[in-house]
């Protein structure tokens, strides 16, 4: 698998790096830029997120011409679940080689190095929301975050696409946030 470079372009490098990726990748990126696409927001916990569940979707979106903005609770640089990166049995209990490579590229991206605090997320600035999961203890910070749940609800109310992987469905506010009439916001959909 070829992963996006750390230069923030989102273009995977083919055999001809001097041209900035394959023709299809350059065209996809150019189309996204011309359309004025807003970035996709990917909130993460400060530590313990699953590197595969974050880096593979990040890589796929970046290769498709999307920019990804990263957010953490306090705006600190996130760190993946180290057991998933360095543990035994790659591809089974540990991230596969391609996931580790994608994670390396993701951590070099300027958006990853300068995350937005949950409280400062302005939903109008993003096209969609991507919620990766994880099962290590540090993920609770993310799953139980009231500010993040509020932002997830704002994405939902504005009819913006939301993708959630594995445990990230626990961020879903439908069980805890309701309309004034008591109905769930997701009831009618």
CATH number at residue 70: 3.40.50.880
* pLDDT given for residue 179 in this prediction: 59
User: Who contacts 169 (Cβ-Cβ below 8 Å, separation ≥6)?
Assistant: 131, 133
Whether 104 maps to a domain, the answer reads yes
Residue 163 structural domain: 22-175
**Residue 82's pLDDT is what?**
79
44 lies in some domain = yes
Dump pLDDT digits (tens) for 98-157: 888 988 999 999 999 999 999 999 999 999 999 887 666 666 777 788 888 889 889 988
Q: Which two tokens stand for residue 138?
A: 């540090």
Residue 182 lies in a domain: no
Rounded to an integer, what distance in angstroms lies between the CA atom of residue 187 and that of residue 76? 35
Average pLDDT over residues 59-70: 92
Burial of 187 from C-beta contacts in 10 A (0-12 / 13-18 / 19+): exposed
Residue 8 lies in a domain: no
Within a domain: residue 102?
yes
Domain presence at residue 97: yes
The confidence score (pLDDT) of residue 173 equals 55
pLDDT at 120: 96
Q: Which letter, b or e, does each residue of 72-111 get, where b requires 16 or more Cβ atoms within 10 Å of its Cβ?
A: bbeeeebbbbeebbeeeebeeebbeebbbbbbebbbebeb
Whether 189 is covered by a domain: the verdict is no
Residue 75 confidence (pLDDT):
94
Q: Structural domain tally of the chain?
A: 1
Q: Is residue 10 situated within a structural domain?
A: no
- In tens, the pLDDT along 5-42 reads 444 433 333 333 333 444 443 444 444 444 578 999 99
Average pLDDT over residues 82-111: 83
67 vs 9, more confident:
67
């Amino acid at each position: 698998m070829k992963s996006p470079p750390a230069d923030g372009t989102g273009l995977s490098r083919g055999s001809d790096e001097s041209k900035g990726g394959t023709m299809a990748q350059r065209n996809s990126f150019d189309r996204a830029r011309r359309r004025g696409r807003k970035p996709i927001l990917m909130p993460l916990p400060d530590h313990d997120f699953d590197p595969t569940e974050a880096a593979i979707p990040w890589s796929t979106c970046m290769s498709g011409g999307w920019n990804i903005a990263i957010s953490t609770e306090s705006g600190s640089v996130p760190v993946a679940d180290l057991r998933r990166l360095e543990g035994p049995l790659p591809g089974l209990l540990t991230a596969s080689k391609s996931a580790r490579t994608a994670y390396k590229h993701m951590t070099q991206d300027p958006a990853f190095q300068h995350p937005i605090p949950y409280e400062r997320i302005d939903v109008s600035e993003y096209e969609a929301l991507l919620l990766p999961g994880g099962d290590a203890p540090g993920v609770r910070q993310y799953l139980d975050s009231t500010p993040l749940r509020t932002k997830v609800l704002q994405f939902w109310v504005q009819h913006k696409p939301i993708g959630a992987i594995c445990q990230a469905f626990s961020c879903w506010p439908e069980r805890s946030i309701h309309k004034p009439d008591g109905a769930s916001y997701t009831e009618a959909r």
